[in-house]
Amino acid sequence: MYNLEENYKKKIEFVAELSKAVGGRVSGIESLDYVVAKHKLKGYVYEYVVVYYRGGAIQARNCNMNSNAAILEEVAKMVYSSQVYGEDTASYKKLISEDYQYDFDIYNIESI
């Protein structure tokens, strides 16, 4: 892993373990991911917990500076309630789009 603080790595690993427990076992949920996007020049960071649903839909929640307990609470809201984070999901999709691919380093469980 390059240039990623240990705190972010622990959050990514926590959600990866949570995904093993939830993904495929909860109706409609395929997997979970924790994504950290760090601006290459300015250094600011965006953090998102992402729920991937069967059929291709996703939902993302901005989780900057949240503890594991707060991340778990946000996942529970997305998975077990009708809580929808349209703005956060749109921001996440924009952040990972081709338009921003050269501005941010993106980290998740596959990259650490």
* HSE of 54, CA atoms in CB hemisphere, 13 A: 8
CA dihedral 28, 92, 15, 52 (to 10 degrees): 20
Q: Mean pLDDT, to the nearest integer, of 51-70?
A: 91
At residue 10 the predicted structure's pLDDT band, cuts being 50, 70 and 90, is very high
pLDDT reading at 53 higher than 60: yes
Domain boundaries, the chain: 6-108
Q: How many Å apart are CA 32 and CA 60, to the nearest integer?
A: 10
% of the chain exceeding 90 in pLDDT: 67
pLDDT reading at 85 higher than 80: yes
